[in-house]
Amino acid sequence: MVNCTSESLFRMSRRAVLRLLGLGAAAAAFPGLARAEEEAFTSEQAAFGYNNFYEFGFDKFSPASRAAGFKTSPWTLRVGGLARRTEDFALENLRALLEEREFVCDMRCVEGWSMRIPWAGFPLAALLELVQPLPEARFVALESCADPQWMPEVKRGSFPFPYLEGLRLDEAMHPLAFMATGAYGKPLPPQNGAPLRLVLPWKYGFKWLKSITKITLCPEQPPTTWSRHIPEEYGFYANVNPAVPHPRWPQDTETFFGPGGLNDRKTRPTRLFNGYDQVAPLYADMDLKTHY
Ligand code: MTE
């Protein structure tokens, strides 16, 4: 398992991590350990039961029940724009081409809660290398599924779906940018963004697009749902940053959900880039006190 928790001291025994994951001996091949001070993952029940997936409803608990029958196989990922290989990939074929791995990442929602989750998937860079961006490509635009047959809020037209997200190409190529296909040693459940979602541990959770159907390489910054509709609350970059206040939720601390579920809460300070300092060079030219 690749560890992308934010500190370099990993004292937890590997066996304990594997036990927590329920992977047992089969996972012996994965090196990597969790952070000592919060050695446990958020409970699977909390991660799979407390969700933001507005296509299925605007409260935290509807997505798990309403997305239960969402059909995520077969699935097509359309790759287009400024790439040498533009193609409609059958996801199962694409996954066969890319090496999947396990990794642990913290997720910080702009609403002020956070989780530590063991994921599985592949680096977004591996997919981009496969399709070979052209030199003019500077950004990556991503689009979620918006299927009125399965998604009640898409059917009601209550929000400007499809949910769009975007990254600068160098952010998308960073080794901490992942596409997840699983979590807790299982295929990703629909409410968590099956069959393919972004995992961007240094960015607020609203950038972690779910159920992705389309990726387009483009020359300019693409429109994204939140930065277009509520720009004063949600920027394009949306890096976790306690120095940038949010009009609705305090950002200097966060509530971490632990192994005991939603009632097992710990308040801890929010860290710049969610503690993933490796990404700092990407933003060397930006004033980190400003909302982007
Ligand atoms: N992706 C889509 N398509 N629709 C959404 O409503 N919500 C975002 C993000 N990705 C969302 C989405 C928000 S606000 C958060 S905090 C995370 O997904 C929540 O991920 P989780 O439910 O797996 O915790």
Which ligand 1 atom sits nearest the alpha carbon of residue 210? 1
Dist. CA 119 → ligand 1 center (Å): 15
Which ligand 1 atom sits nearest the alpha carbon of residue 162? 3
Q: Residues lining ligand 1, judged by CB closer than 6 Å?
A: 51-55, 109, 144, 163, 192-193, 205-206, 208-211
Q: Give the closest residue (by CA) to ligand 1 atom 9.
A: 206
Pocket residue to mutate for ligand 1, from 204, 206, 225, most atoms within 8 A of Cβ: 206
Dist. CA 163 → ligand 1 center (Å): 10
* pLDDT of res. 148: 97
Dist. CA 11 → ligand 1 center (Å): 31
Which ligand 1 atom sits nearest the alpha carbon of residue 51? 22
* pLDDT of res. 127: 98
Q: What is the pTM of this model?
A: 0.90
Dist. CA 99 → ligand 1 center (Å): 25
Residue 184 Ramachandran class (φ > 0 left, ψ -120 to 50 alpha, else beta): left
* pLDDT of res. 24: 35
Dist. CA 52 → ligand 1 center (Å): 4
Task: For residues 166 and 164, give the distance between their C-alpha atoms in angstroms, rounded to a whole number.
Answer: 7
Instruction: Kindly report the number of other CB atoms within 10 A of residue 290's CB atom.
Output: 11
Dist. CA 10 → ligand 1 center (Å): 29
The tens place of each residue's pLDDT in the chain, 292 residues long, gives 666 665 432 223 334 344 444 333 333 333 333 343 455 999 999 999 999 999 999 999 999 999 999 999 999 999 999 999 999 999 999 999 999 999 999 999 999 999 999 999 999 999 999 999 999 999 999 999 999 999 999 999 999 999 999 999 999 999 999 999 999 999 999 999 999 999 999 999 999 999 999 999 999 999 999 999 999 999 999 999 999 999 999 999 999 999 999 999 999 999 999 999 999 999 999 999 998 9
Which ligand 1 atom sits nearest the alpha carbon of residue 145? 3
* pLDDT of res. 11: 29
Q: Which residues contact 103 (CB under 8 A, 6 or more apart)?
A: 1, 2, 3, 4, 32, 118, 119, 120, 121, 178
* pLDDT of res. 136: 98
Domain boundaries, the chain: 7-283
Q: What is the dihedral of CA 229, 234, 236, 237, to 10 degrees?
A: 180
Q: Give the closest residue (by CA) to ligand 1 atom 2.
A: 210
* pLDDT of res. 169: 98
Q: Give the closest residue (by CA) to ligand 1 atom 22.
A: 51
Architecture of domain 7-283: Alpha-Beta Complex (3.90)
